[in-house]
Structure 1
Amino acid sequence: MENYSGYFRQGNLIAKYLTGELSSHEKEELDAWVAQSDHNKELFEKLTDEGILNNELSRFASSGKDDAWETIVTKTGFNKPQRHSYIGRRSINYAAAALFFLVSGLLAYQFIYKNTPVKQIVQQQNDLAPGSNKAVLTLADASQINLDDATNGEIAKQADMIISKTADGQLVYEMAKSAVSSSVEPTYTSVYNTITTPRGGKFRVVLPDGSKVWLNAASSLKYPTKFRESERNVELNGEAYFEIAHLKNSRKEAIPFQVRSVGQIVEVLGTHFNINSYSDESSIKTTLLEGKVKVVKTQTISSSKSTKVGGASALILRPGEQAQLAPGIRQKLNLIAQADIEEAVAWKNGQFQFKDTDLPTIMRQISRWYDVKVDFQGKVPDTKFRGKISRDVPLSQFFQILQLSGVNFKLQGRKITIKS
């Protein structure tokens, strides 16, 4: 894992340089870093160029976030810049930090709507590592295998399938050579396995049909060790990204694939899609990247009132679209024609990504990935966030970013307390 702490350290030194707050020791440290490489020198020049800083800050000012600017004016004392205006020294503190995160790749521009001068708000005595490849495999006989402790290679056999764990964190099902070479068609039996990721865990599985599934934290997938010729059905709780193999049976007919989650069924042939079905989220989201899927409500309102009260009973999704199913008795299935694909699958690509995301939503993701409990004390801040950060950073470095919003975080053991 890359050491991100250095990025935060240098960003802080550059901000102090621009505001004239560098100590002699810190100046020596910054000079040494700049001299290390041409890349560092070029980065330093960009981050200290007043024209670039003014342009970036003006872009922020023009985005209509008046409440955020009122907070900045109150806490820093500088005024909202007009287009092409010169940035006062007291404002460069913020702009340098924002630009540094942008160039270093830790944050997208305007990660935070509300901002305060760079300072340490989180005072914590412990830290938590990010999630990793962790899961438990439950076999048909209810025996369990802890996959993060299991050695690489063959770990079990189920019917005619050999189950192996690979060095790069995958669970793979392959037909045994004896079954492949046999001229007798094996009798189908319903033998199911379940892979479950804990909070702070993730895992990948290659299903018996060759389909690939990425499981996010606090999720589970139930599937047969051998699929029927007529259908392929699995059950999902939590979140997963699917790449479904396009298969045909002996009659040259495409074998459909179904993913069942609470309140819906997703029907596919061969395609790439993401399903977020966490019970603590406001809706079940099915996002399509490639191919075509059909999302069907399994609990529809009876009689002719179905469309009027419960929304559509089924939707056909095309690439770039998302279905959102609201839970409860009055389920509503809605189509989002232009979904944010990058945000929907950011977790699978090792990122947290936020676009106008509120703090409770962010903290639910943090809670699952870092395996922590979150407690809000007082009014929940209405701060919203933009940007991305690697899921590989320890929790303290995540807070070093969120702290700029002015929200107070306190970590004790595996409990985060947020005070307004």
Structure 2
Amino acid sequence: MSPKIEKIIVKYLTKSASANDLDVLSRWIKIPSNIELFKDFVKTHYVINYSVNNPDTEKLLIQLLMVVRKEKSFLYKLRNQSVYKYTAAAILVGMMVFAYLFKDNMHLGDVEENTPVIVHKVVEPGSDKATLTLANGEQVALEEGTFLQTQNANSDGVKIIYEASESDFEKTEYNYLTIPRGGQFFVKLSDGTQVWLNSESQLKYPVKFKEGESRIVELVYGEGYFEVSPSSKHKGASFQVVNKSQIVEVIGTEFNIKAYKDESNVYTTLVEGRVVVNVDDLSSNLKPSQQLNLNKENKDLIVKTVDVYNQISWKDGVFSFDEKSLKEMMVILSRWYDVDVEFQNKSIENEMFSGVLRKSQSLEEILNSIKNFEIIKDFEITDKKVILN
């Protein structure tokens, strides 16, 4: 096996392969003599502990080869999406491979069959939905199948688009977009800035920005991904995202802010461009791939380099977890599936998990994937409550 192929396999399995890398790997695997080389390399360097002694390991490796071929085209569908710019699509494909591989095969040797899961209700994934509060206080429910048109905006139920207007208001009018648990939504502001809002979030913004003045929106709570229209297109007008804990000053960039009411920290992650985060009298300049962690109580600021994709994958339809505790994971999942979670066995709260799970899966499928990794023994779902043990 050539060093080039070894390097590509390592990149693939460590979530850093590009679309071209995957293309090379797929073509290389088509050669029959390379299949054994591939399997030997994976076994030697990337064996999964809980399946190494499993007689089905050979079968799983063959499935891996099949999925690499099958999913190759997936990257090309993402070429023109912003996520591709960070070569992060390979993460999705790579981790989907492992989720597929071990979906139904996570057993240790002669481990007895698990007790069947008790499921009383199917909990479907969240969807595009929001409540729009207009300047006059009127509230409009937005969801797939509904349509809305106002003087400045229109919505097809899965997104809302504000149009730039030549008219000038005597006073600035604000709208609120509130995303419930089990929801997500996209809004394009009148200046062309695009915002993806996660579950249990609220954004306050002007219907129209005043020309020449700073463009200011408020992430009241929750999580939002911002792709800001640059100031060069708006006569140098800066852009700010404020909340009660901080002010993020933007030149023209992409970044993610996570500021949930029930969490003690606010996380600002810069993807592209430049932002300055102001907290009281302190300021911090972020570089791409840096994240600022603000403790809301003591105002401590910590800046570190992070894997950007793990922070922003939610907007592209997946949960990407990298050494995330089960307790932290369930907070995220509870928002998307609109459920409450109870740990019957407290000792599993700090069990760690790494992997990518599709947001389009039902909650049962998600929990079965976690169960297959032997992080939980079993689970029960009753109405809107999940019990883990």
**Shorter-chain TM-score: what band?**
0.7 to 0.9
User: Percent identity of the aligned residues?
Assistant: 32
TM-score (norm 2): 0.73
> Which residue is 2:207 aligned to?
225
Within-5 A mapping of 1:89-238: 89=55, 92=57, 99=64, 103=68, 105=93, 107=96, 109=98, 116-117=107-108, 122-148=117-143, 151-154=146-149, 156-157=150-151, 162-166=152-156, 169-175=158-164, 180=166, 186-228=168-210, 229-236=212-219, 237-238=221-222
> Whose radius of gyration is greater, 1 or 2?
1
> Which residue is 2:373 aligned to?
405
With over 3 angstroms needed to count, the CA separation of the structure-2 counterparts of 1:248 and 1:143, relative to structure 1, is same
Q: Kindly state the Cα deviation for residue 314 of structure 1 after the two structures are TM-superposed.
A: 1.4
Q: Kindly state the Cα deviation for residue 204 of structure 1 after the two structures are TM-superposed.
A: 0.6
> Which residue is 1:314 aligned to?
283
Cα contact 1:239–1:276 (8 A) shared by 2: yes
With over 3 angstroms needed to count, the CA separation of the structure-2 counterparts of 1:219 and 1:93, relative to structure 1, is farther
CA distance in 1, matches of 2:128, 2:360: 12
Pick the aligned partner of 2:243 from 247, 261, 265.
261
Pick the aligned partner of 2:229 from 227, 245, 250.
245
**One-letter identity of the residue aligned with 1:164:** N
With over 3 angstroms needed to count, the CA separation of the structure-2 counterparts of 1:195 and 1:258, relative to structure 1, is same
With over 3 angstroms needed to count, the CA separation of the structure-2 counterparts of 1:326 and 1:131, relative to structure 1, is same
Q: Say if 2:324 is the partner of 1:335.
A: no
Q: Say if 2:357 is the partner of 1:389.
A: yes
Cα contact 2:180–2:201 (8 A) shared by 1: yes
CA distance in 2, matches of 1:400, 1:93: 23
- Aligned residue pairs total 323
**One-letter identity of the residue aligned with 2:357:** I
After superposition, the CA RMSD in angstroms is 3.3
Within-5 A mapping of 1:7-46: none
Matched residue SS, 2:96: coil
CA distance in 2, matches of 1:100, 1:396: 27
Q: Kindly state the Cα deviation for residue 387 of structure 1 after the two structures are TM-superposed.
A: 1.4
With over 3 angstroms needed to count, the CA separation of the structure-2 counterparts of 1:234 and 1:341, relative to structure 1, is same
Cα contact 1:352–1:389 (8 A) shared by 2: yes
With over 3 angstroms needed to count, the CA separation of the structure-2 counterparts of 1:264 and 1:397, relative to structure 1, is same
CA distance in 1, matches of 2:63, 2:320: 16
Cα contact 1:56–1:95 (8 A) shared by 2: no
With over 3 angstroms needed to count, the CA separation of the structure-2 counterparts of 1:254 and 1:384, relative to structure 1, is same
Cα contact 1:53–1:92 (8 A) shared by 2: no
Matched residue SS, 2:336: helix
**One-letter identity of the residue aligned with 2:153:** I
Per-residue CA deviations over 1:152-189 (Å, capped at 9, x if unaligned) read 351x34xxxx220036x22111245xxx3xxxx73430
Q: Kindly state the Cα deviation for residue 281 of structure 1 after the two structures are TM-superposed.
A: 3.6
CA distance in 1, matches of 2:63, 2:269: 31
